[in-house]
Amino acid sequence: MWTFIQNQIIGMKWLNGLIGQLLSASGLDTGDRIGGSVQFFLYDVIKITMLLCMLIFLISFIQSFFPPERSRKIMGKFQGVGANIVGALLGTVTPFCSCSSIPIFMGFTSAGIPIGVSFSFLISSPMVDLGSLVILMSIFGAKIAIVYVVLGLVIAVIGGIVIEKLHLENQIADFIRNSKSSVDIEASGLTVKERIVYSKDQVFATLKKVFPYILIGVGIGAMIHNWIPESWIQIVLGSDNPFGVIIATIVGVPMYADIFGMIPVAEALLAKGALLGTILSLMMAVTTLSLPSLIMLKKVIKPKLLGTFIAICSVGIIIVGYVFNAIAYLLV
């Protein structure tokens, strides 16, 4: 039953077969490079878009109960490691990229939330969310998706704890530390109908922002899947290169893409022989340490804290990559 759910409902394998039949009926050979690329492109774009729309609606409905002001109140009730865990978990119900997470991070910090808790949120928000869990599950299976999310949360919690212990509060920009939140936490009550309308609006707004990255990501994935020789991928990201995880992490930083755009790239790389942990390190680096988000973050935190944030995330991502490579045989 679970295999059917994973393959046919979440993975939509029936859609891939249907697209293949339609392309064959139109005279296109899906066994050659061009036909295979077209099938890969159409299948992944349609599948990811359908899943994304359903998931954004669901996540946005849940998120409507946790606006930033209410999230601040929730996090303010916890102390120590528990607060970091709550901050990281709240990040999973925010379908944002790293750039759009920064304003919420600023709001948390200005409201007096401990710096480590705010950073746990900032790390987990773009790296792991409920949407990425389901889409990862549709491609890589439940084990890999769950372990990815769990390890992402571990990075977020540990990263926040380390930053808290270093006492870098003075590295937050003065205009944020000196600002005070005056939002009425309880003023955002919505009816069910209003939450549904909000969720529908979020579907269109988020899809409009994310869809170009889906097209780009699937296009790159189709090219890798059908045009780049397998030997090339294996040389750079395969088991013969012990530095593959480090290379993937470094390469991912200058890139800017939503995790939903990176998943089809990861799918194609895995099919070509790249190691699982190396691929996931690339995904984490792109979504958490993208250059545009770091430029934005530089405006709100000082260089010492920015460097600490980059170092903690990079080390965590690299460790996760090597751990996944070591245990991949248990997950695939």
pLDDT of residue 172: 85
pLDDT of residue 211: 84
Q: What is the pLDDT of the chain when averaged over all its residues? A: 80
pLDDT of residue 186: 44
Of residues 174 and 230, which shows the higher confidence score? 174
| pLDDT at position 286 over 70 | yes
Taking residues 226-232, report their average pLDDT: 72
The token pair at 247 is 């290379």
| Cα separation, 225 vs 220, whole angstroms | 8
- pLDDT confidence of 184, banded at 50, 70, 90? very low
| pLDDT at position 170 over 90 | no
> What is the per-residue pLDDT across 73-117, written as a single tens digit (0 to 9) for each?
777 677 788 888 988 888 777 655 555 677 777 777 777 788 888
User: In whole angstroms, what separates CA 137 from the centre of its chain?
Assistant: 13
- pLDDT confidence of 181, banded at 50, 70, 90? very low
pTM equals 0.70
The token pair at 258 is 């939503």
Of residues 90 and 185, which shows the higher confidence score? 90
Residue 247 burial class via C-beta count within 10 angstroms: exposed 0-12, middle 13-18, buried 19 and up = middle
pLDDT of residue 136: 79
* Cβ atoms 282, 248 nearer than 8 A: yes
Between 36-40, 172-176, 257-261, the lowest mean confidence (pLDDT) is in: 257-261
User: Over pLDDT 70: what percentage of the chain?
Assistant: 85
* Cβ atoms 113, 76 nearer than 8 A: yes
| pLDDT at position 157 over 50 | yes
> What is the per-residue pLDDT across 7-45, written as a single tens digit (0 to 9) for each?
777 778 888 889 999 999 998 888 888 888 899 889 888
Q: What is the DSSP string of 3-59?
A: HHIIIIIIS-HHHHHHHHHHHHHTT--TTSHHHHHHHHHHHHHHHHHHHHHHHHHHH
Taking residues 246-272, report their average pLDDT: 78
User: Over pLDDT 90: what percentage of the chain?
Assistant: 8
| pLDDT at position 67 over 70 | no
Most trustworthy range by pLDDT among 67-71, 110-114, 282-286, 291-295: 282-286
pLDDT of residue 189: 67
| pLDDT at position 155 over 80 | yes
Taking residues 260-276, report their average pLDDT: 81
- pLDDT confidence of 158, banded at 50, 70, 90? very high
Taking residues 55-72, report their average pLDDT: 73
User: In whole angstroms, what separates CA 295 from the centre of its chain?
Assistant: 19
pLDDT of residue 121: 87
Of residues 218 and 233, which shows the higher confidence score? 218
Between 79-88, 95-104, 136-145, 225-234, the lowest mean confidence (pLDDT) is in: 95-104
pLDDT of residue 183: 41
